[in-house]
Structure 1
Amino acid sequence: MLACVVRLAASARARAGATRHAHRLLAAGAAAGALTTAGGIAGSLAVREHVVHERSDLTSLGGLLATGVGVSGVLLLAGLLALPGAAPSVRGALRYLLDGFVIAAAVWFVCWVAVTEPTRLLGDSTPLWCEPVLVPAAIAALTLGVAVIIVIRAPRPRGPIVWVGAGVTLATVAGIGVAGGVCKGQPLFADLSAVVLSAAFGVVAFAARRTDRPSAPRVPEGDDSPAVDDELSRRGSAYAFLPMAAMAASAIYHLGRGGTFDVVGIVSGILEGFALVGRQFVALHDVRAYAERLRDREAHFRELAHTDPLTGLANRRGLLSALEEEQAAGARAVLLALDLDGFKNVNDMRGHDVGDAVLVEVGQRLRMNLRPGDVAARLGGDEFAVLMWARPEEAKRAAARLLGVLGGPYEQASGTVFLSVSIGLASCESVPDVTTLLRNADIALRWAKSHGKNRVELYDVAYDVKLRRRTELEHELRGAIDRDELHLQYQPVVVLPDVRPVGAEALLRWQHPRLGKVGPDEFIPLAEECGMINRLGAWVLHQACHQLSRWLAEGHDVWVSVNVSPRELHASGYVDQVKDALRAHHVPAQRLVLEVTEHAVSTDVEELIRRLRDLRETGVRIALDDFGAGYSSLGQLRRLPVDILKIDHSLVVRQMVRVVVELGHQFGLEVIAEGIGEQEQMAMVVEAGCKLGQGYLSGWPVPAEHFEARLESATSPARVVPVPQQETDRHQNAGPTPRRAHNVRAVDSSREMRQA
């Protein structure tokens, strides 16, 4: 037994925290039990040697041993509850004691029935029942009850805890045997109990060393962690019903045999009742606390579900909830839909960390510049919304103020970020539901972004009509080629001043059976956005080459130009596509002119130059369209590999046209004046030395057969728009000289193939 005490003490020194405290209590309990056992053995020897034989002396000695058993039992029980994994918390340990007391009172009552009249299962000659063992017997019963509760509720794996509980219970019961044997003058029984007590301490010492890694952590008092809720959910009620059933059966049996209740039996029943009532009170308190925690968590999760985690603003669900409340209350409000212009570039160039920091600052600026009651929300990405309790006019003024607030610089560690914002407004007045309100605000936002950005637009029914038409056009455009609804018209390029046609620009037209004529200014930008422009461009290229091959086969000396979109030009297979078209329709490469807009120079100039050089190496000629209306500079013009310069109609004024024509001739380019619609313009162009012109004065875009008729009716031989001899020789000798080029858009000379 001394070895067990030493082992427990050494185990306590080797551990820390709660585990050390538990092992110290177990070691102290084992030490008290060892002293009690030693006293019991000494008392047993005294009884055998008849040193002590008086009943009063035996009772006093038994009482002393019972005290030692009681102290040992209390320390062992405390150590058992303090072991990691035995009880979830200090409050949980108190619950375990109360639950164990319910079982202990029942065990005590059943034992009382067993040893009293008329049952007296132990008989009159060998009972160990005496007054000094009442306290240790109660402690033993409580230890048994607590051990049972721990076995029921301890998380798995609970084998070591179960063994410690069994050892502690056996030790307290054996201690009662030692004290009772000495008290009743039964040395043999006391000696056997001492042996059992030593074995019980050995079990405790062995099992306690294996409880270092609990399956569930102990939690501090009042902790709302999931471990506490899990412990509460594992509680059952069988531990209360079974002891009550045992007490009831014992009482009925006792009364049936003619027995009566003395003070011990009555007190046991009263204590059992109070224990059950107290336990139910504690359980009710636990359930209420658990329900309160659930309500708090529900409110917390509801807040999380309605809050954007990055900015702290409301999210889409939170905005919808606010809108539904507003609709239920019948209040007047305006919804602002906001979108940051150019935010994708921030993420791409600065990184998502900088982008997130900018979004956080946007949320802060919104929060600081709204009135109390207004709801700001982040809908996702760089899209925000504000529910403002105001009239449309007042909300529009507030939105204009937000343009300045959100358009200010954003100072970041990597540098200053500049953004603008587009805002769409929709009023709740005469709106049937929340979905329509959101849709109206989004339509107004899209209108603001498509008309220059960094502006405020209030929803108008006309926007909805235009959006519906745009959606319908996009749907119909996808099948326009297959339904044979597209065709080409050709606008003449003429020699000045006799307006003899020498070339033509192929212009795409769409005739829908239900929608009628759809202008290129409407469907070309749409094709750019929806990804149809490459397919349309390929169709136009093949149709133009096919018609050109027919005209050349009929003996007409003519060339055709085709407009090229920037998306087409930057496609990896566009050069091969041009080669295939020329080869399929047997068209000489120098008869095909590819027109790129000056606006395309605003994109990647170096990439544009590489693409245009690749195209010129095929033999086709490149025309820079709308020169003077875009972004090209003199330095860029020197680098671009182009053959023809088409002057924008805005430059067809005195002096300006002369400067541009001379500039083009200095660079070795042929010059075509566009947009000639009046005789005065014609005279200025001719006076400036421009040999080629294009415009409504010299010919409208017409179908192929009409243009062919004009070619046939020409009185003088047509000549090709300057395909200089050196250019022809160059292509024939396969010795291309590098020239410059320019990026393209879906556009014709009337800006038909422009991007949105």
Structure 2
Amino acid sequence: DRDVAPAAWPRLTAPAGIAALAAGVHLCVVGEFSTGAMALGLTVVPPIMVGELLAAADQRRRVQRLAAREAWLRRRLGPDARAVEPAPLTRADLVRALAQRSGGALLVVDLHGEGAAVPEGPVLTEVARRLRVGVEAQDLVARLGDTEYAVLTDVGPVLAYALGTRLLAALTEPYPRPGGVARVRVSVGLAETGGGEPEDVLRQADLARRRAVQLGRDRVEWYDAYLEEQLVRRLDLERELPGAVARGELDLVYQPVVALAERTPVGTEALLRWRSPTLGTVLPAELLPVAADLDLVGEIGRWVVDRACRQLAAWSGGGRELWMAVNVTPRELAAPDFVARTATALAAYDVSPERLVVEVAEPGVGAELSTVVARLAGLRSIGVRTALDDFRAEHASLAQLRRLPIDLLKVGPHLVRPGGDGQRPLIDVVANLADRLGVELVVEELESEGQVAGARRAGCRYGQGFALARPATAERVEAWFEEFPSAAR
């Protein structure tokens, strides 16, 4: 019976009986005990008996712990505990269990329904069943929220990650329901327990879960200290960005675009900066993904176009007819009123449309190609020039280029380098295609004189980068313009 510790007397009497039998045989054969024989018996037999006593005491304590755990589970689950499946523990139960663990891992499992829907009751019931089936008997399952669960396991990092992967596969299988099936997306965060404070372990696993959500869901992510820094930074950005436009915290800097042959400015590119009083200067690579998640891209994009047009008008007062490029995302272009809003901003500051260049980065175009084509065509119809930024020059890119109504094509300096096995630089292929399409090339990110010379040899007309001019405030760029009194569009 697992509820009763085994009796100690059989294990104690066996060594004593064997010793007595050996002594009897010895007396019959030898007739007496020598000093050495008596010393050997006293050395071997008593330690064996003491060891058996200690083993029996340890087994008794183990049985008592098991009995106490079973009694606790029965109290939680009611009188029919043996007949039902155990319910998930609560967060408080999980914290107590974590406090008793010195190793293993904690998995936090988050569920996301289709679209914005939250998984419903029958689905959650099946989720709980799949979790119980997927874990080992010694693992603990707890429910942290409506759609959030935790699994506490004793296994090491490799096996814990394998467990997370198995649970991910099981929980993302379709859930039958009347009239069809429901599908659930799952994010799993992992953290090692390692004897840390329970709340710290829970926080670490939850941060890893957040990272899994940010990276697209349906994945397992481990916690590490660098991850925590990134996530805390992300939370700070999400907290501070709303209202940044109204508070006047956004700013533009301008990087000149130069005619490579004459080394004179022909235009500028407006680059967004967020001057946060608490977070410092935030660049677009960090700012825009947060703005997209908070649905602030449209508000920020409108501010950028308005500020760029205002600056163009100010420079026109000095007789300079340079153009200015602004970066937009396919999501911004998809807005039905984007062309109309751009025309309104140009009219408000009395800026000629051809002096504004709207840039869209090529990697984001593919999924929205038809919409992007339509909006770029609409911009060109009102006189605004268009550009394709970050052109990759892959086979699909070259084919796509023929469909896009653009005036400028911006490429990186890597295209200027000679190809392998003495082949011609890839820029030659791109330049030839651009020439046939009537598109001007701009080589960006030029950081050395060698790259500038390579771009010129390839026949590229325009360039920008640190080797030519660094981004600066409007006042400093205007002072730099004064060195080129004859510069015009």
Structure 1 length-normalised TM: 0.47
1:396 matches 2:173: no
Which amino acid is the alignment partner of residue 567 of structure 1?
Answer: R
1:529 matches 2:290: no
Pairwise CA distance, 1:684: 2.3
Tell whether the 8 Å contact from 2:119 to 2:147 is kept in structure 1 after alignment: no
Structure 2 distance, partners of 1:549, 1:535, is: 22
**1:381–1:329: structure 2 CA closer, same or farther, 3 Å change rule?**
closer
Aligned residues: 406
Answer with 324-333 or 531-540: which moved more: 324-333
Identical pairs, percent: 39
**1:487–1:376: structure 2 CA closer, same or farther, 3 Å change rule?**
same
1:688 matches 2:458: yes
Which amino acid is the alignment partner of residue 571 of structure 1?
Answer: A
2:108 is aligned, of 311, 334, 337, to 337
Which amino acid is the alignment partner of residue 337 of structure 1?
Answer: V
> What's the counterpart of residue 5 of structure 2?
none
Which amino acid is the alignment partner of residue 487 of structure 2?
Answer: A
Secondary structure of residue in 2 paired with 1:344: coil
2:266 is aligned, of 502, 513, 519, to 502
Tell whether the 8 Å contact from 1:599 to 1:630 is kept in structure 2 after alignment: no
Pairwise CA distance, 1:372: 0.8
Structure 1 distance, partners of 2:440, 2:99, is: 70
Pairwise CA distance, 1:582: 0.5
1:374 matches 2:135: no
Which amino acid is the alignment partner of residue 107 of structure 2?
Answer: L
Secondary structure of residue in 1 paired with 2:357: strand
Pairwise CA distance, 1:333: 4.8
Secondary structure of residue in 2 paired with 1:556: coil
Once the two structures are superposed, residues 732-755 of structure 1 have per-residue CA deviations (whole angstroms, 9 ceiling, x without a partner) of: xxxxxxxxxxxxxxxxxxxxxxxx
**1:491–1:302: structure 2 CA closer, same or farther, 3 Å change rule?**
farther
Structure 2 distance, partners of 1:553, 1:379, is: 63
Which amino acid is the alignment partner of residue 483 of structure 2?
Answer: S
> What's the counterpart of residue 387 of structure 1?
152
> What's the counterpart of residue 386 of structure 2?
622
> What's the counterpart of residue 25 of structure 2?
none
Q: Larger Cα Rg: Structure 1 or Structure 2?
A: 1
> What's the counterpart of residue 188 of structure 2?
423
1:538 is aligned, of 298, 302, 305, to 302
Tell whether the 8 Å contact from 2:176 to 2:182 is kept in structure 1 after alignment: yes
> What's the counterpart of residue 157 of structure 1?
none
Structure 2 distance, partners of 1:301, 1:599, is: 62
> What's the counterpart of residue 341 of structure 2?
577
> What's the counterpart of residue 705 of structure 1?
475
1:590 matches 2:360: no
Secondary structure of residue in 1 paired with 2:319: coil
> What's the counterpart of residue 718 of structure 1?
487
Which amino acid is the alignment partner of residue 276 of structure 2?
Answer: H
Tell whether the 8 Å contact from 2:111 to 2:119 is kept in structure 1 after alignment: no
Q: Where does the alignment leave 5 or more consecutive residues of structure 1 unmatched?
A: 1-295, 721-756
**1:662–1:393: structure 2 CA closer, same or farther, 3 Å change rule?**
same
Once the two structures are superposed, residues 260-292 of structure 1 have per-residue CA deviations (whole angstroms, 9 ceiling, x without a partner) of: xxxxxxxxxxxxxxxxxxxxxxxxxxxxxxxxx
Pairwise CA distance, 1:679: 2.3
Structure 2 distance, partners of 1:339, 1:598, is: 34
1:645 matches 2:416: no
Once the two structures are superposed, residues 489-532 of structure 1 have per-residue CA deviations (whole angstroms, 9 ceiling, x without a partner) of: 11111111332110100001233344333333222222222222
Q: Which runs of structure 2 are paired with 1:353-364 in the superposition (5 Å)?
A: none
Pairwise CA distance, 1:554: 1.4
Once the two structures are superposed, residues 597-648 of structure 1 have per-residue CA deviations (whole angstroms, 9 ceiling, x without a partner) of: 1122132322222222222222211111111178953332222222211113
> What's the counterpart of residue 520 of structure 1?
284
**1:410–1:591: structure 2 CA closer, same or farther, 3 Å change rule?**
same
1:602 matches 2:366: yes
1:664 matches 2:434: yes
Once the two structures are superposed, residues 305-361 of structure 1 have per-residue CA deviations (whole angstroms, 9 ceiling, x without a partner) of: xx9xxxx9956xx342541451465565522123579x636x99xx999x988x888
**1:474–1:653: structure 2 CA closer, same or farther, 3 Å change rule?**
same
> What's the counterpart of residue 490 of structure 1?
254
**1:703–1:326: structure 2 CA closer, same or farther, 3 Å change rule?**
same
Tell whether the 8 Å contact from 1:672 to 1:690 is kept in structure 2 after alignment: yes
Q: Which runs of structure 2 are paired with 1:169-248 in the superposition (5 Å)?
A: none
Structure 1 distance, partners of 2:335, 2:80, is: 49
1:675 is aligned, of 431, 445, 454, to 445
Structure 1 distance, partners of 2:395, 2:213, is: 22
Structure 2 distance, partners of 1:474, 1:325, is: 33
Answer with 412-421 or 703-712: which moved more: 412-421
Q: Which runs of structure 2 are paired with 1:80-95 in the superposition (5 Å)?
A: none
**1:333–1:600: structure 2 CA closer, same or farther, 3 Å change rule?**
same
Pairwise CA distance, 1:556: 0.7
Secondary structure of residue in 2 paired with 1:604: helix
1:323 is aligned, of 94, 100, 123, to 94
Once the two structures are superposed, residues 9-28 of structure 1 have per-residue CA deviations (whole angstroms, 9 ceiling, x without a partner) of: xxxxxxxxxxxxxxxxxxxx
Secondary structure of residue in 1 paired with 2:109: strand
Pairwise CA distance, 1:391: 4.2
> What's the counterpart of residue 567 of structure 1?
331
Tell whether the 8 Å contact from 2:114 to 2:184 is kept in structure 1 after alignment: no
**1:683–1:381: structure 2 CA closer, same or farther, 3 Å change rule?**
farther
Which amino acid is the alignment partner of residue 388 of structure 2?
Answer: L
Pairwise CA distance, 1:444: 1.0
Secondary structure of residue in 1 paired with 2:467: coil
Secondary structure of residue in 1 paired with 2:365: helix
Structure 2 distance, partners of 1:338, 1:481, is: 36
Which amino acid is the alignment partner of residue 336 of structure 1?
Answer: L
Tell whether the 8 Å contact from 2:250 to 2:272 is kept in structure 1 after alignment: yes
Tell whether the 8 Å contact from 1:493 to 1:503 is kept in structure 2 after alignment: yes
Structure 2 distance, partners of 1:497, 1:704, is: 25
Secondary structure of residue in 2 paired with 1:472: helix
> What's the counterpart of residue 441 of structure 1?
205
**1:371–1:631: structure 2 CA closer, same or farther, 3 Å change rule?**
farther
Once the two structures are superposed, residues 544-597 of structure 1 have per-residue CA deviations (whole angstroms, 9 ceiling, x without a partner) of: 111101112211120001111233222233222212211111111111011111
Structure 2 distance, partners of 1:634, 1:444, is: 39
Tell whether the 8 Å contact from 2:107 to 2:150 is kept in structure 1 after alignment: yes
Answer with 452-461 or 606-615: which moved more: 452-461
Tell whether the 8 Å contact from 1:335 to 1:428 is kept in structure 2 after alignment: yes
Q: Which runs of structure 2 are paired with 1:540-555 in the superposition (5 Å)?
A: 540-555=304-319
Q: Which structure shows the bigger proportion of residues in helix conformation?
A: 1
Which amino acid is the alignment partner of residue 718 of structure 1?
Answer: A
**1:527–1:631: structure 2 CA closer, same or farther, 3 Å change rule?**
farther
Q: Where does the alignment leave 5 or more consecutive residues of structure 2 unmatched?
A: 1-73, 419-424
Pairwise CA distance, 1:301: 13
Structure 2 distance, partners of 1:418, 1:681, is: 51
Secondary structure of residue in 2 paired with 1:633: helix
